[in-house]
Structure 1
Amino acid sequence: MPRAILDGTVLAESPNTVVIEGNHYFPDESVNHEHLTGTATETVCYWKGTARYYSAVVSETVFRDIAWYYPDPSQEAASIKNYVAFGRPVQVEL
């Protein structure tokens, strides 16, 4: 089962990830939100839409904008609506 791990802490775990462009997107209900805080950062993907970001706090270290999600993705990316993906240094174990 895919798990997103940062510094020994499991940030998400689910057998129902969606893989797009090499990133595992985890269903929101599988994400451990106690370690995440929303940020004001937004980016735009030409085909997925506008992404919002989370920072993570693990072992008293803040990892800024380490996770992202699409609250209102394009029709082509509807399968990842409210799914969360993680960037480096988060490791996704399968």
Structure 2
Amino acid sequence: MKATIGNRVIATADAEDLVMIEGNWYFPPSSVRWSELAPSATPYTCPWKGPASYYSLVDGPEDVAWAYVTPGATAVERVGKDFAGFVAFDRAVVISE
């Protein structure tokens, strides 16, 4: 699977390594090209996943990605897999095979 915006590839991973949560694919942190992203100051806390860290595209749109660096234990149980640090992308990012 690949996450792209324009002609920029932000992440690539095998489909079995991704996690689907609420309609969003979450990529493992090791599959993300962190040089394409910069931390954002946008605050957000999901009622059941916990605090999120947002990322903006370097020289591009803001807040195109997010991750739950330390999701709560009940969130991990609910998802069925530890998704700590996994990165999901805004709809502006195309997820393809």
User: By the TM > 0.5 criterion, same fold?
Assistant: yes
Q: Distance in 2 between matches of 1:37 and 1:19?
A: 23
Residue 19 (1) aligns with residue 20 (2):
yes
Give the partner amino acid of 1:77: A
Aligned residue number for residue 70 of structure 1: 68
Q: Distance in 1 between matches of 2:19 and 2:57?
A: 21
Q: Distance in 2 between matches of 1:63 and 1:52?
A: 16
Give the partner amino acid of 1:46: P
Q: Distance in 1 between matches of 2:73 and 2:95?
A: 26
Q: Distance in 2 between matches of 1:28 and 1:88?
A: 19
TM-score normalised by the chain length of structure 1: 0.89
Gapped runs of 5+ residues in structure 2?
A: 77-81
1:76 Cα offset (Å): 2.8
Give the partner amino acid of 2:2: R
Gapped runs of 5+ residues in structure 1?
A: none
Runs of 4+ in 1 over 4 A off after TM superposition: none
Percent identity reads 40
1:7 Cα offset (Å): 0.3
Give the strand-richer structure, 1 or 2. Answer: 1
Provide the alpha-carbon RMSD of the alignment: 1.1
Residue 51 (1) aligns with residue 52 (2):
yes
